[in-house]
Amino acid sequence: MDPLVQENWFEAYDIIREESHVYYMPQTDMYILTHYDDIEYVLKRPTLFKAGSDVKEKEPLITFKEARDIYNKKGWERFAPLGENLPQHKYYRQLVDPALTISSIRKKEKFIKETINNLIDKWIDKKEIEFIKEFAEPLPMLVIAELLGFPRMDVPQLKEWSEAWVLPWTRGLTLEEEKWAVNLHTELQHYIYETLNEKRKKPKDDIISRLANIEYEDVLNDCKRKLTDTEIIGITDHLLIGGNETTTFALSNSLWLLFQYPEIFPEMQRNPKKIKNFVEEALRIESPTQGLFRVVNQDTDLRGVKLTKGSTISVRYGAGNHDAKKFPNPTVPDLSRKNAGRHLAFGLGEHVCPGAALSRYEQNLAWEILTQRLKNINPVPEKDDYSHVLGFWIRALKNIHMKFEVL
């Protein structure tokens, strides 16, 4: 929980990994997993180690009742259908997964490439930029807004709402900070509600139109039905935030890695096929989501440690991705690593990130075009200290500047 540890998790992970497979952390009443094989074991057993509402009840994201009450007064329940447990989770995912397959995303390749080039055109003559604000942040937001069916003109407001939605994940907020985040989230909920009502009347080729008009297999009530407003709002804001925040973090973390290993950028220019492995290695080494919860659903034994029903596990993706038994020399990017794509940055199993294919596709196209248009990219050390947003779950730089020349 120390800010110094949150600034650089990996030394702490190494210590915990050497000390115990299942490390109990009394400050949070959680068991910490840092070994890749243990994390894989848990994530592949979603009925034994559950996500969703079980976690919400034990460790609420919004801790103050006064802040939670705002949802009842002004908006809808903060509900994440895509994070629910089996069997509901399977059927919710079936509603959105077809729109996020690689074949569906490829249909948007022209739009994504144009978006990347348009962003670069805006700043290429400056020869120096703050990379997050001018590229890593707007790119994924513009893309996910297009897929969901939001107007491009609303993207700046969507970004503000997105930042408010993700803020509670940093944990330790004051009452006023939580109330600010919830108030903005309810504004987003109303915006989604108005959008989905429009698309019920005039559907288009986008995800919200699909959600607004499709029938859902309600296995709990043994019937088919239309999704409720609460369900559509929950799925949409989940996709909106998941579709932009983590990709923003991934792009900026990738640039930081290039600064540490300056030989990689020209290597990708000489051999564009290396870009794919670079994206995977950056995701592995600097995973935007460092971990998430699971709750033990029945008394069980894990590596000789007795876990009682209701125990909370912090599954540390970032630690598993630095496990030398799985990834030799884990801190160094290897553009020839054969198992580079086996990292845990997007999770694993039933709850793997629905936007994983989209994020990878955007990142690959981004670095493909950046390597075609720029050369001699360099840090601006007098403007950056490379500090991170503090918190228990995410790994995100506050800002990162880049100097460059034009090809």
| Percent of the chain scoring above 70 in pLDDT | 98
The CATH number of residue 283's host domain is: 1.10.630.10
Element (H, E) at 212: helix 207-213
Can you give the pLDDT at residue 43?
Answer: 96
Tokens representing 43 are: 């994530």
CA within 13 Å, CB half, 223: 4
The verdict on residue 111 lying in a domain is yes
Residue 126 φ/ψ, nearest 5 degrees: -75, -30
Residue range 17-23: mean pLDDT, rounded: 96
Instruction: Write out the E strands in 219-333.
Output: 223-226, 292-296, 300-302, 305-307, 312-315
Q: Is residue 321 part of a domain?
A: no
What would the pLDDT profile of 162-187 be if each residue is shown by its tens digit?
889 888 877 778 999 999 999 999 99
Residue 108 maps to a domain:
yes
Backbone angles phi, psi at 374, to 5 degrees: -125, 160
Q: Is 317 contained in some domain?
A: no
What stretch of H or E contains 378?
A: strand 374-379
Residue 97 neighbours by CB distance under 10 Å: 13
Give me the sign of the Cα torsion angle 62, 64, 69, 74: negative
Do 13 and 317 contact (CB within 8 A), yes or no?
Answer: no
The predicted pLDDT at position 41 comes to 97
pLDDT digits (tens, 9 = 90+) for 207-245: 999 999 988 888 778 888 899 999 999 999 999 988 888
Q: Is residue 56 pLDDT above 60, yes or no?
A: no
Cα–Cα distance measured from residue 232 to residue 154, given in angstroms and rounded to the nearest whole number? 19
**Residue 3 burial class via C-beta count within 10 angstroms: exposed 0-12, middle 13-18, buried 19 and up:** exposed
The residue ranking higher by pLDDT, 225 or 38, is 38
Residue 353 clears pLDDT 50, i.e. is over it: yes
Residues 251, 364: Cα–Cα separation, whole Å: 10
Could you tell me which residues are beta bridge partners of residue 55? none
- β-strand partners of 375: 405
Residue 356 has pLDDT above 90, yes or no: yes
- Please indicate, yes or no, if residue 107 is contained in any of the structural domains: yes
> What separation in angstroms does the CA of 32 have from each of 15, 317, 331?
12, 11, 21
- pLDDT tens per residue, range 243-271: 888 999 999 999 999 999 999 999 999 99
Residue 379 located in a structural domain: yes
Q: What confidence tier does 86 reach under pLDDT thresholds 50, 70, 90?
A: confident
* Distance in angstroms (rounded) separating the CA atoms of residues 321 and 175: 34
CB-CB neighbours of 387 under 10 Å: 11
Task: Tell whether the model's pLDDT for residue 58 goes beyond 80.
Answer: no
Per-residue confidence at 54, pLDDT binned at 50, 70, 90? very low
- Mean pLDDT of all residues belonging to the chain: 93
SS3 384: coil
Is 153 within a domain?
A: yes
Which of 216, 245, 280, 281 is closest to 355 using CA atoms? 245
260 belongs to a structural domain: yes
What pLDDT score does 52 carry?
Answer: 62
Domain count for the chain: 1
pLDDT value at position 407? 94
Residue 23 · residue 406 · CB < 8 Å: no
- Does residue 59 surpass a pLDDT of 80? no
pLDDT of res. 342: 97
- In this prediction, residue 55 has a pLDDT band, given cuts at 50, 70 and 90, of low
**Two tokens, residue 288:** 């935007």
Query: H helices within 52-130, ranges in order?
Result: 53-58, 65-74, 88-96, 102-106, 109-123
Residue type, 23: Y
Q: Which domain holds residue 241?
A: 40-287+336-406
pTM to 2 decimal places: 0.93
Say how far apart CA 149 and CA 135 lie, in whole Å: 21
Q: What is the mean pLDDT of residues 128-142?
A: 97
* pLDDT value of residue 74: 96
If one counts every other C-beta atom within 10 angstroms of the C-beta of residue 101, the result is 11
Mean predicted confidence (pLDDT) in 91-118: 94
Higher pLDDT, 1 or 316: 316
Residue 64 tokens, joined: 């103050």
Please compute the mean of the pLDDT values over residues 342-348 and round it to a whole number. 96
How far, in Å, CA of 132 to CA of 377, rounded?
A: 15
Using DSSP bridges, classify how beta strands 300-302 and 305-307 pair: parallel, antiparallel or unpaired.
antiparallel
Cα(59)–Cα(279) distance, rounded to whole angstroms? 33
Residue 391: per-residue pLDDT = 83
